[in-house]
Amino acid sequence: MTEIAIERAEEYDASIIKEKLLYMFSLTSFPDVRGKSVLVKPNILSDAPKEKAITTHPEVLRALLKILREKGAKKVYVGDSPGIQGPAFNAKVSGIRDAVEKSGAEFVDFTKSSRTHSVYKNISIPMAKVLDEADVVISVAKFKTHQLMMQTGAVKNMFGLVPSLNKSPLHLKCPSVEEFSRLIVSIFKESHTDYAIIDGIIAMEGAGPANGTPRKVGLLISSRDAFAADYAMSCIMGYQKTDMPIFLEGEKEGLTDFKSYTYPALNPNNLVIRDFKRIESGKKSLFSALILPFFTRFLKVRKAKKRNAPLFQDNCVKCRRCIEICPAKALTKGESHPLIDENACIRCYCCHEMCPVNAIKVL
């Protein structure tokens, strides 16, 4: 059986969160960390203020790091790599660096040392070298929507092990949601993640993962199965399993078994937020799911082009981050905002994800 623990937590108080986590760990076979090296991977999409709900909240991280120390972990590493990681990245604005340093853990820059891994379609990518030094890996994700993947949780969180701009070209190699899901699952397999925690005390709804709206959900989720934790989160958001290609791929790869899920505390089916602002799942008809791929294989029509192209708003600050991140080179400098070549655009929405002022919309 796969236990998924869900507990209510109304505020970001490390002592309260610690108590909640310890109870959840007792229900879900938390791994033995005594004498071991542990890699903790929070979500630091960008070093944004914690109030924006873009990152894992530092108090959740603080509570976990204290538990790991008390449980006798020999060494604890903490790190992530944003899509565009400049030399000044230090996770101080989010409060994560402070939580790490005060706990005695080591903050790791994933861009400093990496090792090549072979993943889906024999794609070779660099991944953080610290992964090889960790006996136990813990994904500490944020309860958020995602413009491309509908939601982003503990499984996709491990995509951050790929340093900085090495991520965006992967969208070009895997342009459809289905292919990108396979890629994410293959990267997750390489991460040998042992446990998952999702910070849903203050979540993000709407245009996630960076430009959505914070919303109090008041929940923590954990499991030894990251897919199971993500599934519970998606249920609470109001999604079905079939809405998420990443779940179907995880099941196909034998990484999870939906029939084995049990809920020793709260049940996500009783916690569904009916008015949660979700991303449309774009469910396929029989034609689009089974017949269309046969034709597109020969016509070389990318399914990703079926989605809407992003729209640029007047509040653009011309930071060029969208131009830098675009894997298809579909954006060029314009007078008031970047210009988009809709034929070149693969609808990966990396530009939307990286925009610091919410000047990019996806309809």
Instruction: Note whether residue 22 is domain-resident.
Output: yes
DSSP string spanning 85-121?
A: --TT--STTTTHHHHHHHHT-EEEETTTSEEEEE-GG
31: domain CATH number? 3.40.50
249 and 347, same domain (yes or no)? no
Tell me the C-alpha distance between 170 and 175, whole Å: 8
263 and 338, same domain (yes or no)? no
8 and 49, same domain (yes or no)? yes
At residue 302 the predicted structure's pLDDT band, cuts being 50, 70 and 90, is very low
310 and 193, same domain (yes or no)? no
pLDDT of residue 281: 64
At residue 300 the predicted structure's pLDDT band, cuts being 50, 70 and 90, is very low
pLDDT of residue 128: 98
Span 166-173, average pLDDT: 95
Mean pLDDT is lowest, of 259-263, 265-269, 277-281, 342-346, for 277-281
Centroid of chain to Cα 85: 16
pLDDT of residue 87: 85
Is residue 72 within 8 Å of residue 343, measured between CB atoms?
no
**How many C-beta neighbours within 10 Å does residue 194 have?**
18
Is residue 5 within 8 Å of residue 27, measured between CB atoms?
yes
Instruction: Note whether residue 282 is domain-resident.
Output: no
Residues 162, 352, 141, CA angle at the centre, nearest 5°?
50
231 and 334, same domain (yes or no)? no
**How many C-beta neighbours within 10 Å does residue 33 have?**
22
Tell me the C-alpha distance between 43 and 60, whole Å: 12
pLDDT of residue 335: 87
Instruction: Note whether residue 58 is domain-resident.
Output: yes
176 and 248, same domain (yes or no)? yes
What region does 29 belong to: left with phi over 0, alpha with psi -120 to 50, or beta? left
Tell me the C-alpha distance between 235 and 228, whole Å: 11
263 and 340, same domain (yes or no)? no
- Its domain, for residue 95, covers 2-270
Asked if residue 188 has pLDDT above 90, the reply is yes
Provide, rounded to the nearest whole percent, the portion of the chain with pLDDT above 90. Answer: 88
Is residue 207 within 8 Å of residue 146, measured between CB atoms?
no
Asked if residue 178 has pLDDT above 80, the reply is yes
194 and 327, same domain (yes or no)? no
Span 2-7, average pLDDT: 98
247 and 314, same domain (yes or no)? no
Domains in the chain, number: 2
Tell me the C-alpha distance between 261 and 3, whole Å: 6
Is residue 58 within 8 Å of residue 44, measured between CB atoms?
no
250 and 160, same domain (yes or no)? yes
Tell me the C-alpha distance between 319 and 337, whole Å: 9
pLDDT of residue 295: 46
Asked if residue 287 has pLDDT above 70, the reply is no
pLDDT, tens digit, 9 for 90 and up, residues 18-50: 999 999 999 999 999 999 999 999 999 999 999
Q: What is the pTM of this model?
A: 0.91
Is residue 247 within 8 Å of residue 241, measured between CB atoms?
yes
N-to-C CA span, the chain: 40
Instruction: Note whether residue 225 is domain-resident.
Output: yes
More confident residue, 117 or 297: 117
**How many C-beta neighbours within 10 Å does residue 135 have?**
17
Tokens at 336, concatenated: 């008031």
